[in-house]
Amino acid sequence: MDYVFSDRVQTLKPSAIREIFKYAADPTVVSLSAGNPSPEAFPAKEIAEISARIMSEDPIAALQYSVTEGYAPLRRFLTDYMKEKHSVGSESDDILITSGAQQIMDLASKAILNEGDAVICENPSFIGSLNTFRSYNARLVGVPIEGDGMNIAALEEALKKEKRAKFIYTIPNFQNPSGVTMSREKRRAVYDLAVKYGVLIIEDNPYGDLRFAGEFLPCIKSFDTEGIVIYAGSFSKVISPGMRVGYTIAPKEIIQKMVVCKQGQDVHTNIWSQLVCHEFLTKYDFDAHLQRLREIYRKKAAYTMDLMDEHLTPNITYRRIDGGLFLWCDLPERVDMQQFCMDAVKNKVCVVPGSAFMANPEDRTNSFRINYSTPTDEQLKKGIEILGKMAKEL
């Protein structure tokens, strides 16, 4: 049989990160290429307690079919919590529980994008989201990211030029892969430009709670008087990614379409995990838990940056971070970045070449991404020492 696939998937390839994971599976290779929360960050004991309680008190509630919109008490709790804590959400918004924040990207794309429409994104940006937009045959328009977020002039240029732009995709806090946090002024500017040019914003915020230094900045969604922001939240980094629970707060009309798409995609999100998240959020001290996570990541990031200062500089430079899971490293212009990453794997340390995160294959970058949350301290030391030896030989 000669299989004929749809136009939209003809050119899709498995993500470069996942390909690199194959090298990382070799136990002798130190992997700095993942994006997993630190194993010590999981509230495993609490989840075990909650789950045992659910299974003894009302197992059918956790095992039976549920509604597409999500577990009603969890939706209510999150609506109140996000409103009170982050000024996110209004009367004209609704909330949908999703199978991880990744599903928000798919549902929003499916509901909004026609083939050939444009998505404006930070460049570089999260490959998982970019690939979802690509899977609907969207054109990606990359806007360079600076130390304080998108280049606003370039963003306006793109909005002027792209008549078919449907939304701006941004990760304002500790962006993956660049580690950049968008300034308050730029958040406002991005919002104002989106209003001016009549496009939506997807604000993807998986790392916002993982701030271990500096001040918390307002969500773009908190400015959203015009009903143009789709906010994407996730429990993957603060409770558990394996449970696949995320949520989106967005204008009701958009949520309605996303609900219909979700119905045909997985009917509803695993209800057992929704019950567990709800109970963890409401019956335990979630703020104290977040405080504990910040402490874990603060220590681990400081340890990593110390190692990088010692071994990588001056040939490899990097941007210091106040939160999130990733560090973005720049090679000297004369060095072939792809070759460097390949040599690194051969030397038994795996990093992700920056090209994986670019909006278009012709967009040039000489950077690579390091993740510090997944490896042990010993692995971090070993991996960065290897990179350090390579840096000295550049």
Sheet of 118-123, strands arranged across: 93-98, 246-251, 229-234, 200-204, 165-170, 118-123, 139-146, 149-150
Between CA 18 and CA 379 the distance in angstroms is 20
Phi/psi of residue 357, nearest 5 degrees: -105, 5
Matching residue, tokens 């990088």: 308
- Identify which range of 97-105, 184-192, 318-326, 352-360 contacts its own copies by CB under 8 A: 97-105
Total residue count of the chain as it appears in this document: 394
Answer for which of 24, 29, 32, 62 binds its own copies (CB under 8 A) is: 62
The three-state secondary structure class of 231 is strand
Smallest distance, its own copies to C-beta of residue 226, A: 6
Tell which positions 167-226 bind its own copies, by CB under 8 A: 198, 226
Q: Which of these segments, 59-67, 143-151, 201-209, 304-312, binds its own copies (CB under 8 A)?
A: 59-67
Site string for its own copies, 117-156 (x = CB under 8 A): -----------x--xx--x---------------------
Q: In 129-141, which positions are buried (b, 16+ CB within 10 angstroms) versus exposed (e)? A: bbbbbbbbbbbbb
Among 72, 153, 213, 267, binds its own copies (CB under 8 A): 267
Size of the site for its own copies (CB under 8 A): 79
Q: In 10 A of CB 299, how many CB atoms?
A: 12
Q: Least distance in Å: CB of 114 to its own copies? A: 5
Of 19, 26, 55, 285, the one binding its own copies (CB under 8 A) is: 55
Of 72 and 213, the one with the shorter C-beta distance to its own copies is 72
Question: Residues 4 to 23: which contact its own copies by CB under 8 A?
Answer: 4-9, 12-15, 18
Given the complex with its own copies, which of 125 and 367 has the nearer CB atom?
125
Residues 288 to 347: which contact its own copies by CB under 8 A?
none
The single residue listed with the structure tokens 């079919």 is 65
| 269 makes contact with its own copies (CB under 8 A) | yes
C-alpha dihedral (178, 181, 182, 185), degrees to nearest 10: -150
Torsion sign (Cα): 130, 335, 300, 179:
negative
Nearest distance from residue 206's CB to its own copies, in Å? 12
Range in contact with its own copies (rule: CB under 8 A) among 28-36, 152-160, 183-191, 376-384: 28-36
The Cα 340–Cα 353 span in angstroms is 9
Among 24, 150, 228, 277, indicate the residue that binds its own copies (CB under 8 A): 228
Q: How many CA atoms lie within 13 A of 147 on its CB side?
A: 5
Q: Is the peptide bond before 124 cis (omega within 30 degrees of 0)?
A: yes
Largest CA distance in the chain: 64
Helix (H, G, I), strand (E, B) or coil at 316: coil
For its own copies, the binding residue among 30, 31, 96, 110 (CB under 8 A) is 110
- Which of 29, 32, 37, 247 contacts its own copies by CB under 8 A? 37
271 touching its own copies, by CB under 8 A:
yes
* Minimum gap (Å) between residue 39 Cβ and its own copies: 5
Using DSSP, how many helices (H) and how many strands (E) does the chain show? 14, 14
- Give the nearest distance from C-beta 133 to its own copies in angstroms: 9
With CB under 8 A as the contact rule, the residue among 31, 70, 95, 99 that binds its own copies is 99
Residues 288, 293, 296: CA angle, nearest 5 degrees: 130
Nearer to its own copies, 23 or 42 (CB): 42
Residue of the chain from 30, 189, 254, 301 that contacts its own copies (CB under 8 A): 254
Considering only 47, 190, 327, 351, the residue that binds its own copies (CB under 8 A) is 47
Q: Are 241 and 41 in contact (CB under 8 A)?
A: no
